Chain A
Amino acid sequence: MAASIQVTVPATGNKISVPTGLFINNQFVPSVDSQETIECVNPATEEPIGSVVAGSVKDIDVAVAAAREAFKTTWGKNVTGIERGRLLNKLADLMERDAQVLGELECLNNGKPLKIARDFDVGDSVACLRYYAGWADKIVGQSIEIDSKTKFAFTKHDPIGVCAQIIPWNYPINMWAWKVAPALACGCTIVMKPSEFTPLTALKLSELIVEAGFPPGVVNTIPSLGSVGGAALSSHKDVDKIAFTGSTVTGRKIMAAAAMSNLKKVSLELGGKSPHLVFESADLDQAANWVALGILYNTGQDCTAGSRVYVQDTIYDKFLQILIGKAKELVIGDGFDEKSGGGPVVSKVQYDKVWSYIESGKQEGAKLALGGVKRSGKGYFVDPTIFTDITPEMKIVKEEIFGPVLSVGKFSTEEEAIRLANDTTYGLGAGLHSMIVSAHTFKQVWVNQYNLLYNNVPFGGKKQSGIGRELGSHALEEYTSVKAIQWNFGEKLDWPL
């Protein structure tokens, strides 16, 4: 196939060149043994954008070998933290320079509005890279007192090694940055498998890896099907760690494969069914804004989507009306249209999945307060959908839908609210809307706000929402391995004991 495709941005006619090969050792190459390709589709028009090479199991081997070689020679302990920080800052500068192009490509492949892709997805990613650039020369261990006359003990936080990273399609650029930044800051090398739905920005970003000056093999990018490349990485004997963001179903497979192969370290960032609790003391208008954001941002395609909301009975009717009004204000449309606040869902597969949940909601007896009617015409558009009169056993209440579909329930006491909120196998986010403080069991609790993430605050799930943390200083622990060194300078050992 051609080395690159010219992708046309519909709104402007601009052409963006995207390399189509697998990115290994700072070069774009064909597969060693396969003719398979991955076709990328514009979800707003259902039109094909272009195809890229699909990596095979053998290609994964080649990429891992390249990453291992780099780790042993030009990266890992062979590069200083200062240099890693410098390169990450350079990469951030380049992403900032190319924000418009990256935003357009993201909008085209994922569907999200251009201004959000450019200003938030790319903007937050640039900040993420800079945040971890700052950590690169600050990864410290401890010196530990044992007996100052004879011993000296200290720890070093060594890079784990070759890291496989598998990212989803909902925030392709942002997820790329969350993974790449801490791994590189710590001195790890990477084999990155972007989602087969949205590989284009990962390939474009690989060009910036070269331009920034990272040595060959430090970052490798292999678009591939999960069942091929993802499976190969999970069970690879020479991968030291795998980091996965995606569904809980796939997360299990990855953990099992790690266990059966080489006990590689595993971190998982999985699904959620995050609840909001709106207490009577809350500022209802603000709470409604946050709840709307929580389920409609990114068209609900967010692991922390606030997909359940429980409202105190004393304010239920009032709040529901305000919320419906807010949801109606959001315009879902083509991402290149200035008016769009949300785009289509990413693919036909997702579109069908979300609609099947909406149908099940109707069948199981929930009431539709908003939405529930398919659009005609092209594009995987799903309009804001609100169900009320829910019961805990309903599929729409238990399972992650990953679309703009909200379930609204009622409670009277705080204990009841907490019980309803915690009644889930997930444990990712929770929104608490109240002027009165109380404790909660969720990991990621937002008080009087929702969904906002910051590069220096850790993020991750309890229970079946995941293992490990991203962002903040905690992410560094995922990419380092502690070595303890005990230095004897004064003890002589008597023998036999």
Chain B
Amino acid sequence: MPQTFTYVFDTPVYKGTSSFSTGIFINGKFQDGSEGGYIDVINPTNGKVITKVSEGTAKDVDVAVEAAQKAFDTVWGLNCPGFERGKLLYKLSELMTAHADEFAALEALDNGKTFGWARKADIEAAIGSIRYYAGWADKIQGNTIETTKDKIAYTTHEPLGVVGQIIPWNFPLMMISWKLGPALAAGNTVILKPSEFTPLTALLMAQLTVEAGFPPGVVNIINGYGTTVGHALSHHMHVEKVAFTGSTLIGRKVLEAASKTNLKDVSLELGGKSPNIIFDDCDIEQAVNWTVHGIFWNHGQACCAGSRIFVHEKIYDDFLHRFTEKTKSLKIGDPFAADSYQGPQVSQQQYDRIMSYIDSGKEAGATVHLGGSRWGNEGYFIEPTIFTETKPDMRIVQEEIFGPVGVVIKFHDDDDVIRQANDTVYGLASAIFTKNIDRALKTSQRLRAGTTWINCANQLHAQIPFGGFKQSGIGRELGEYALQHYTAVKAVHINLGHEI
């Protein structure tokens, strides 16, 4: 029997008790992993173990696929009308709202982000996504198409079947909601693998799907490792689609696995090295504030982080000064302290990786304008770091660091900065700061990125699609667009009189 995890929060920002099963969740029930293993859940503020959760493996994936397929064939898929699916999703969003503070506390505990950010960004966005897709469930429409008098032709947008979803640790609950929302609205059944670093909010979410009334087998959540559970989902012959958010490195493996097995549909949301272009005619105060948000939100652990900051030479000194001052004012500390802006990075592994990038920057001769060191004596805290005097081929300029490390680059020529901005294998997001409409639209039109933020950064809405150009991904999440990746088009031709 899997253990129940109970945690009493007694913090300045939240007091309450959270309690839920730590098992893997298959066919409406929590159970032990079939091979009996466990994964430790670490508190990133101090490296200590909070609890352990059951570990699922490939065998559990097989069982889940069977349950998900059965549910799809009997009580879900086309057996459940859209408005019923919408009702369940709406109910789930109401339950999430009732547990909002608890979710935020769990997220802060598990991931290290502050309670405040978790509550107002992650949890609100997660609830908003489920509500948004609840509204789509009975509106997935095809077309009727005119050809000749003798034919009635129409398309239906049908669910794919059993879909696998693999999510990262940077916004755990929000990522679950971005994935479950469109998949369930469209009528698919789901097997979701949370990140092994941040399994807690997924477990509470699993419990809420039971309370909301989703039939067993429709939602399955299996904690485990990428090399076992992730691998099994990507390779499974009866999983019709896999959706993966994470590194470009693993994204390749997922795509390759699909190509070698059943050619399952693949959507990928991968890394980025997004450019933030600050023109000399910007509102400089606002540009500074958005730039801080662009690279330091979530401790830099955002795929769309504006990590390359291009500043026009006319305002470079002024901007850098203000940006530095603003960054210095960010408070690092306990995620449960009321005035903390930034907590620890999520894991030892991530900490090591970021520090090695910082070292590489130093070694390559870039200037550490601010930060560059560990913060505190325990846990995975890193000072917000700003590099200047970089060269384009430096690793800190080319590669995704996924930490609170921004690179500031001077420019003088519009054409050249756009060339530099596009000179990357990535193409996830971009930001432009200028008060000149013409400049903004022209630049946005020339940037090769899935999102262009004009005079803002890191703004995500359930209604607006999000995804990458080039090696930042395949497909779009959010908005109506996400539904395309969870439906297959069937064309039906009815012959009214054409005889041969």
Instruction: Please tell me which one of the listed residues A135, A152, A438, A490 contacts residue B496 in the complex, with CB atoms under 8 A apart.
Output: A438
Question: 0/1 per residue, A100-133, Cβ < 8 Å to B?
Answer: 0000000000000000000000000001001101
Instruction: Please tell me which one of the listed residues B438, B463, B496 contacts residue A439 in the complex, with CB atoms under 8 A apart.
Output: B496
**In the bound complex, do residue B496 and residue A473 qualify as a contact, i.e. CB atoms below 8 Å apart?**
no
What is the CB-to-nearest-CB distance from B169 to chain A, in angstroms, rounded to a whole number? 28
Report the separation of the CA atoms of residues A307 and B31 in the bound assembly, to the nearest whole angstrom. Answer: 59
Instruction: Please tell me which one of the listed residues A81, A127, A489 contacts residue B438 in the complex, with CB atoms under 8 A apart.
Output: A489
Report the separation of the CA atoms of residues A490 and B441 in the bound assembly, to the nearest whole angstrom. Answer: 9
In the complex, chain B residues whose CB is within 8 Å of the CB of A349: none
Question: 0/1 per residue, A140-164, Cβ < 8 Å to B?
Answer: 1000000011001000000000000
Report the separation of the CA atoms of residues A89 and B494 in the bound assembly, to the nearest whole angstrom. Answer: 39
Instruction: Please tell me which one of the listed residues A127, A133, A152, A439 contacts residue B135 in the complex, with CB atoms under 8 A apart.
Output: A133
In the complex, chain B residues whose CB is within 8 Å of the CB of A424: none
Q: Does B86 interact with chain A (Cβ within 8 Å)?
A: yes
Q: Does B265 interact with chain A (Cβ within 8 Å)?
A: no
Q: Does B372 interact with chain A (Cβ within 8 Å)?
A: no
Given contacts A148-B445, A489-B438, A489-B442, contact A134 B496 (CB under 8 A): no
- The stretch of B38-46, B136-144, B237-245, B339-347 in contact with A is B136-144
In the complex, chain A residues whose CB is within 8 Å of the CB of B445: 148-149, 152
**In the bound complex, do residue B438 and residue A138 qualify as a contact, i.e. CB atoms below 8 Å apart?**
no
Closest to B185 in A: A134
Q: Does B82 interact with chain A (Cβ within 8 Å)?
A: yes
**In the bound complex, do residue A134 and residue B139 qualify as a contact, i.e. CB atoms below 8 Å apart?**
yes
Q: Does B128 interact with chain A (Cβ within 8 Å)?
A: yes
**In the bound complex, do residue B480 and residue A140 qualify as a contact, i.e. CB atoms below 8 Å apart?**
yes
Considering only CB atoms and an 8 Å cut-off, how many residues of chain A contact the other chain? 26
Question: 0/1 per residue, B439-481, Cβ < 8 Å to A?
Answer: 0011001000000000000000011000000000000000010
Instruction: Please tell me which one of the listed residues A130, A133, A437, A490 contacts residue B442 in the complex, with CB atoms under 8 A apart.
Output: A490
Q: Does B83 interact with chain A (Cβ within 8 Å)?
A: yes
Closest to B463 in A: A137
Q: Does B134 interact with chain A (Cβ within 8 Å)?
A: yes
Closest to A133 in B: B135
Closest to B128 in A: A82
Give the contacts of A188-217 with B (CB-CB under 8 A). none
Q: Does B437 interact with chain A (Cβ within 8 Å)?
A: yes
Question: 0/1 per residue, A455-483, Cβ < 8 Å to B?
Answer: 11000000000000000010000000000
What is the CB-to-nearest-CB distance from B331 to chain A, in angstroms, rounded to a whole number? 31
**In the bound complex, do residue B463 and residue A138 qualify as a contact, i.e. CB atoms below 8 Å apart?**
yes
Tell me the total A-B contact number using a CB cutoff of 8 A.
Answer: 59
Residue among B87, B128, B132 with the most chain A CB within 10 A? B132
Q: Does B426 interact with chain A (Cβ within 8 Å)?
A: no
Q: Does B486 interact with chain A (Cβ within 8 Å)?
A: no
**In the bound complex, do residue B480 and residue A127 qualify as a contact, i.e. CB atoms below 8 Å apart?**
no
Report the separation of the CA atoms of residues A439 and B134 in the bound assembly, to the nearest whole angstrom. Answer: 35
Closest to B443 in A: A489
**In the bound complex, do residue B134 and residue A489 qualify as a contact, i.e. CB atoms below 8 Å apart?**
no
Q: Does A85 interact with chain B (Cβ within 8 Å)?
A: yes
Give the contacts of A371-400 with B (CB-CB under 8 A). none
Report the separation of the CA atoms of residues A439 and B463 in the bound assembly, to the nearest whole angstrom. Answer: 39
**In the bound complex, do residue A456 and residue B135 qualify as a contact, i.e. CB atoms below 8 Å apart?**
no
**In the bound complex, do residue B139 and residue A135 qualify as a contact, i.e. CB atoms below 8 Å apart?**
yes
Given contacts A138-B463, A138-B480, contact A487 B441 (CB under 8 A): yes
Report the separation of the CA atoms of residues A127 and B83 in the bound assembly, to the nearest whole angstrom. Answer: 8
**In the bound complex, do residue A473 and residue B139 qualify as a contact, i.e. CB atoms below 8 Å apart?**
yes
Given contacts A438-B496, A455-B83, A473-B141, contact A134 B135 (CB under 8 A): yes
Q: Does B76 interact with chain A (Cβ within 8 Å)?
A: no
Give the contacts of B337-375 with A (CB-CB under 8 A). none
Q: A82-B463, A455-B138, A489-B441 are in contact. List 15 more A-B contacts (CB 8 A).
A: A85-B131, A85-B135, A89-B90, A130-B86, A130-B90, A133-B135, A135-B139, A138-B139, A138-B463, A140-B480, A152-B445, A438-B496, A473-B141, A489-B437, A490-B438
Q: What 9 A-B pairs come out closest when comparing CB atoms?
A: A134-B135, A489-B441, A489-B438, A456-B138, A137-B463, A148-B445, A152-B441, A489-B442, A489-B437
* 20 cross-chain CB contacts under 8 A: A85-B135, A89-B90, A127-B83, A130-B86, A131-B138, A134-B86, A135-B139, A138-B480, A140-B480, A148-B445, A149-B442, A437-B494, A455-B138, A456-B139, A473-B141, A487-B437, A487-B441, A489-B438, A489-B441, A489-B442
